[in-house]
Amino acid sequence: MRYRTIGADPARRREVSVLALGAMWFGSVTDERTSFAILDRYVEAGGTFIDTSDNYAFWVDGGQGGQSEKLLGRWLRSRGADGQVVIATKVGARPLAPGTGYHDNAEGLSAKVIRESAERSLERLGVDRIDLLYAHIEDRTVPLTETVGAFGELVAQGTVKLLGVSNHAIWRVERARALAAASGVAGYEVLQYQHSYLRPRQDVPDRLFEDGNLGHAGAELRSYLRAEPDLTLVAYSPLLAGAYSRQDKPLAPDYDHPGTPPRLQALRQVAKECGATVNQVVLAWQMGGPFPIIPLAGASSVAQLEENLAAVDLELTGDQRARLDAAC
């Protein structure tokens, strides 16, 4: 395994593995025995960065989520692993009531919700501190000053180590970070967005955002990361839910554009040259990029995890990376 540092402040930054493990389905779609086996193998291979959310996976049973955090808590206790891994979780997108969703009934990012949600996550995880806490989705009904202050207070209290943000417009990320700096409190240092080798259209309407899908790491976000080297991108859904390798998992409609076929062709050619799978090349391409990217890949079996882990040792040549980057 290889590692990289997230966070800039020496008092709060953490070293994590270059491949993060997504725990979205653990405790719901993926049963406890399989989830524990995946977690055990990940840690055995040197993995130290596990991602969840307080609302995972509310859509499975029509509840409010929490299954993933609870399972991780049971695993941490049974393995004595608290302190050995970095657990990231998220607040703000938990449905207010069972049978609803975060599209129009999310808890949001008020100071009260942030404080109470963090307390519930601590209890479910069975830990006394959250390593990394994200603002999961935007809440434009609450002043940014209130949200920033509430997150900063959690860090000042020692309840949270590092802060992150996901699925926000970049101008709001920058504004929040500026407000935090002006107030002398901790700000967002890790950004979690959907990012893969294939590039989606950015103008496809989204039911959450009137300005398009703010969850994708588009050109503006990539430019921002290049200008802010202390920030890290955690790239969720890097393997597009299996669409690179499975015939039963077609690409989403926003990848249906002329740029997709040449990038797929380049990807498959490089995979053939490396004797690797297409998934492994995607992950290696992300891990070796020009700015810090940590791919966040889930797994529903140990075999899937093994494929992902092998990407850590895959080194693309300069020529291969150049061809991948140039394809369009």
Tokens of 289: 């990029």
Q: Give phi and psi for 95, each to the nearest 5.
A: -60, 145
Cα–Cα distances (Å) from 166 to 99, 126, 163, 291, 324, in that order, read: 24, 24, 11, 18, 26
Point out the residues that are catalytic.
56
Q: Could you tell me which residues are beta bridge partners of residue 166?
A: 192
